[in-house]
Chains A and B, each alone.
Chain A
Amino acid sequence: MLSRTRHPGRNTEAVLLALVITVLALGLALTSVGLQLRQDLHPLAGLPGLVPPVALVAALLAGAHFLLRLRRRTMEQILLPIVSLLFALGLIAIYRVRGAEGVWQQLLRGFVPGMGILMLFIWRPQVVETMRRWTLPLSLIGLALPIATAFFGVVDETGARLSLRLGPLPPIQTSDIIKIALIFFLAWYIEREGREATGRARIVLGGLRLPAVRHLLPGGMFVVLGTLALVQMRDYGAVLILTILFAGMLYAGFETRVFATVGLLGLGLALLAGAVLSVTWEVPIVIRYRFIAFVDPWSDAPLLLDGEPTGITVAEGPGYQIQQSIYATIAGGLTGTGLGLGTPSYVPLAHSDFIFAVVLEEMGAVVGLPALFLFAVVMLRLLRLAAVLPRVQEFERLVLVGIGIHLFVQVFVMVGGTLNLLPLTGVTIPFMSLGGAALIVNLAEIGIALGLAARLEEARR
């Protein structure tokens, strides 16, 4: 069936992308001038060095845009610009705290490969279908990588094993790969089993319907194995994301009553496991410290390690980074200190966990709040796309819901942690934080969404 509507092109996206590149160039330039002024150097001396990174970003974004034009796609024009604007804000903040070195690291280890995958999905949207056909082996590889990391991974300075070294490649953080693997696995599995599980729910407990155990076992096993691997890796933030993804996708995929039953049962099991663990298992020091710091970052109480005082107080230990993040937020206020003119380097891990504190300090709430708004729009667009896809494409719809949940939950817990509204969780803010594998996975997720929009458009044409 041929579409009779006039071909509207992709001009909205072109305008927005041009704006984004201008914002990036201006932001980096202002930061550079501000930094040079503080060191009493020539204010414009840092500018020539900024041309290559800006040109690289512009070239990749323009490449993706013209690829979409070439394929005559008109749907979903604001997802790519929003994501690149968030990336640009993050890159400016990274430049502020880590300099040109951090910028190149973010570009070469994250943005360039990530955009490569994104363009692959734009160029060949059928790849999603291929992935669907190969979901089981692919997601098992995604599960095997963290398990391998848990045992053979590179141990970092805090004693956590987060990355795996594969040959000559730089070490990759595998906990991000398991998230996307879980999204694909659950989508594939719910599509395959969900309907039958719902249709044949035989056990009825006072209005609650329970699907047969064999329908739930594989999905549950996947989550349990992944969780165990992540616990062994000491990546508790990823455990949280995995659990919310599991619950969210079950909610989206199953009938509400079945979900309620499964959810209640899961909650009961979790409480039981928690009760057992609280007696037998010592809560990991990372979680305990983060919770203590969350309750009162300025506490004078002595910090304990294995019951022994460590000689420092909570305020000097785990509370310190929260304090600095709060100070940075306050220093920024409504309009920010100005780019390059604040002191965000006091915040530990300002380039990854606390990147949002840097944005708030130097650009102020006047930029920070729109950034949050844009994250909400990303979630909304992904869910909208899931809603307009045909009902029969359950796999694709569930993948989109999973991606939306993944991105939104990470923003939620990280911004909450930065502002001390939630205990700090060690995950990344999508598109903003410095991080190779995480950025690649996030850009790939956006690529999948654009690819699915393209498939829908082809079907309607």
Chain B
Amino acid sequence: MDLFSIHTLLFAFKWVFVGLIYLALIVVVITVRREMGLRLGAGRPLPGSAPGKLIVLDPGGAPGVLAGSAIPLRSENSLGAEQDNDIVLEDSFVSGHHARLRWDGAEWWLEDLGSQNGTFVNQRQCRPYKPEPVPPGAALRLGEMQFELAE
């Protein structure tokens, strides 16, 4: 067969076509790998890991907690009287699993978990199971305990 016949060219270009598709595929795989696999393995802190702490304004009935002490926060914190919470608040007006405080990368969100005595942000009661944004410097009240959310 003639080396430069149209059929030879068609055959060659068909493989160029397939090759280009695979080139795109390789770029996709490399990108996915770079974005997913390596980042998960490296254990770097996620962008914007929890910048803030809770300052105790009023320890309420919790034993051994001093007003003015600071509680460091993670990006997700459960608050309540039970021992399995991230932050254990042994005030008798705080429910077992009282509330959850989350950092979403931009803002703090407080979610009341159906507590008995409610959760208050700046004296306003949160609706249960509705996360509410908490501005920096806001006053939080759970049971008899009062906090300030500091940057």
Contact = CB atoms under 8 A, between A and B. Distances in A.
A445 B113 CA distance: 33
Most buried by A among B22, B109, B131: B131
Interface of chain A: mostly helix, strand, loop or mixed = helix
Contact of A392 (B6, B16, B32, B131): B131
Interface string B1-42: 000001000110110111011111101100110001000000
A131 to B, nearest CB: 21
B21 A85 contact: yes
Interface residues of A, number: 46
A459 B104 contact: yes
B20 A460 contact: no
Given A391-B102, A460-B105, A81 B28 contact: yes
A147 to B, nearest CB: 33
Nearest to A456: B105
A460 B47 contact: yes
Given A43-B6, A78-B32, A377-B28, A30 B14 contact: yes
Nearest to B34: A12
B89 to A, nearest CB: 20
Interface string A343-382: 0000000000000000000010011001001100100110
Contact of B16 (A3, A26, A196): A26
A77 B31 contact: yes
Between A1, A3, A43, A78, the greatest number of chain B beta carbons within 10 A of the residue's beta carbon is seen for A78
A15 interface: yes
Interface residues of B, number: 34
A1 B16 contact: no
Contacts of A366: 18
Interface stretch (A17-25, A214-222, A434-442): A17-25
A339 B10 CA distance: 9
Contact of B129 (A15, A43, A195, A339): A195
Interface in A378-424: 380-381, 384, 390-393
A199 B47 contact: no
7 contacts: A1-B48, A3-B47, A23-B21, A78-B32, A82-B28, A196-B128, A370-B22
Given A363-B18, A377-B32, A391-B131, 16 more contacts: A16-B27, A30-B13, A30-B17, A33-B6, A33-B10, A82-B28, A195-B129, A199-B114, A339-B14, A370-B21, A373-B25, A390-B105, A390-B106, A391-B102, A392-B104, A459-B104
Interface of B: 6, 10-11, 13-14, 16-18, 20-25, 27-28, 31-32, 36, 47-48, 51, 102, 104-107, 109, 113-114, 128-131
